[in-house]
Amino acid sequence: MSASFDLAIVRCGELLTLGGRSVGPRRRSEMSEIGLIRDGVVAISRGKIVWVGTQKEYRRRGRARREIDAEGRVVMPGFVDPHTHAVFAGSREGEWAEKLRGVPYLEILQRGGGILSTVEATRAASLKSLTERAETFLHKMLSCGTTTLEIKSGYGLDLSTEIKILKVIERLADRLPLDLVPTFMGAHAIPKEYSDRFEAYVYQVIEMLSTVRSRARFCDIFCEEGAFGYDQSRRILEAAKRAGFEIKLHAGEFSDQGGVRLAAEFGAVSVDHLDHIQSEEIPLLAQSGAVGVLLPGVSHFLMAKQLPPARALIEAGVPVALATDFNPGSSPCLSMQEIIHLAVRDFKLSAAEAISAATINAAHAVGMGDQVGSLEVGKQADILILDLEHYEELPYFFGVNHAAKVFKKGKMVYQDR
Ligand code: NIG
Ligand code: FE
């Protein structure tokens, strides 16, 4: 039998399939199983993976119509970035200088800076300029190997600007070879015009839900001191569930407000940050089915004193994912490669665990675990050829882009030279 494949990527020195025995996200020691095939081949037809195996087996089966030579390098699934705030205007490097001098993130927010200064700039920006800016960012992400990402609204905090941001995400999805997962985050901060009327803004967010429902898959809440507390988050979650949203939560970034308990109760798909999770909440999170999304770019950029208990989470059976949290205040980082480096260095994940967290578990964190995140037959051909011989070099050589070629749905969408 020959030429049954449109395309084959051949001579993959280390082919990381991330194929697993279980269908769900990877837990505990499964996170170390990256499905490594030495001297491997991955074959593609009509944008999907149709065959994976060794070079020897492939030679017996015949050839594809077109072959791309990986030249003995590392080949793996495209990164999935399950937590970003990529649509915004302005930037906040001045505030970062203050943070470096010791001014806390939440203090800057309280005085009307932080998220609220980005809200002001984003409200004033046109749909066109927001789209162009975000497109530049997303191109950089793609060139660093991200092939699927989640994007949150949340720099509008009024109905028209929240819709403007969600429309930008729709335009970007039309323009770019990326899968984008839109999240409504009207509950990101309390806008200035509601500063002394918190409850009225909670009501406002609940009112917005039905209007934005058709434009967003997930609803997310910044469950935090100075943002949305336990009771306020609970009311928004009840309404979001009724409106048919799937749930994500920012929980435990700077303090514990009971976000993990809420996530478990409301069947959240992911709970993100977790720096301040209480130890008794860890088994609850493991049983809840939610993916725990860790954001080492935030800990690094804000010089956090307390890191999430990554090892305890993995040992307890929480499926851990990684994300950039790309945003102008706490993590202006576009590259999942950098995040993998930080996760290994600071959170003590192994290279294999970090790779599982940035691919298959991240795919589950955006509800796309059946389509992307591993190189298994039937899944989308979202594939990276990295300029590396061994996968352990991915976190090790830091500060450079290792992506030599990026494929989305079987098409080459980036090449380094
Ligand atoms: O995940 N904490 C809330 N949201 C972002 C920060 C957004 C911003 O500072 O603009 C985060 O850290
Ligand atoms: Fe965030």
Q: What percent of the chain has a predicted confidence (pLDDT) above 70?
A: 99
Q: Among 325, 326, 333, which is best to mutate for testing ligand 1, by the most ligand atoms less than 8 A from CB?
A: 325
Which of ligand 1's atoms lies nearest the C-alpha of 83? 1
CA atoms of 156 and 164, how far apart (whole Å): 8
Residue type at position 199:
E
Q: Please give the distance, rounded to the nearest whole angstrom, from the Cα atom of residue 2 to the centre of ligand 1.
A: 52
**Residue 61's pLDDT is what?**
84
**Residue 20's pLDDT is what?**
84
**Residue 236's pLDDT is what?**
98
pLDDT mean over 277-282: 97
Closest to 46 (Cα-Cα) out of 388, 411, 350, 309: 411
pLDDT mean over 311-317: 98
Protein residue whose Cα sits closest to atom 11 of ligand 1: 330
pLDDT mean over 319-330: 98
Please state the pTM of the whole predicted model: 0.98
**Residue 238's pLDDT is what?**
98
Protein residue whose Cα sits closest to atom 8 of ligand 1: 329
CA atoms of 338 and 398, how far apart (whole Å): 7
- What would the pLDDT profile of 189-200 be if each residue is shown by its tens digit? 999 999 999 999
pLDDT of 4 higher than 90: no
Q: Please give the distance, rounded to the nearest whole angstrom, from the Cα atom of residue 194 to the centre of ligand 2.
A: 22
**Residue 383's pLDDT is what?**
99
Ligand closest to the CA atom of residue 189: 1
pLDDT of 330 higher than 70: yes
Q: What percent of the chain has a predicted confidence (pLDDT) above 90?
A: 97
| E strands, 228-371, in order | 246-251, 270-273, 291-294, 320-322
pLDDT mean over 271-300: 98
- What would the pLDDT profile of 365-406 be if each residue is shown by its tens digit? 999 999 999 999 999 999 999 999 999 999 999 999 999 999
- What would the pLDDT profile of 63-113 be if each residue is shown by its tens digit? 899 999 999 999 999 999 999 999 999 999 999 999 999 999 999 999 999
Closest to 74 (Cα-Cα) out of 296, 340, 367: 340
Residue 222: partners with Cβ closer than 8 Å, 6 or more residues away: 154, 185, 187, 188, 189, 228, 250, 253
Cβ < 6 Å from ligand 1: which residues?
85, 114-115, 118, 222, 250, 253, 298, 325, 327-330
3-class SS letters over 354-378? HHHHHCHHHHHHCCCCCCCCCCCCC
Which of ligand 1's atoms lies nearest the C-alpha of 253? 2
- What would the pLDDT profile of 347-364 be if each residue is shown by its tens digit? 999 999 999 999 999 999
**Residue 1's pLDDT is what?**
45
Q: Among 330, 331, 339, which is best to mutate for testing ligand 1, by the most ligand atoms less than 8 A from CB?
A: 330
Ligand closest to the CA atom of residue 116: 1
Protein residue whose Cα sits closest to atom 9 of ligand 1: 329
- What would the pLDDT profile of 12-39 be if each residue is shown by its tens digit? 999 999 998 878 999 999 999 999 999 9
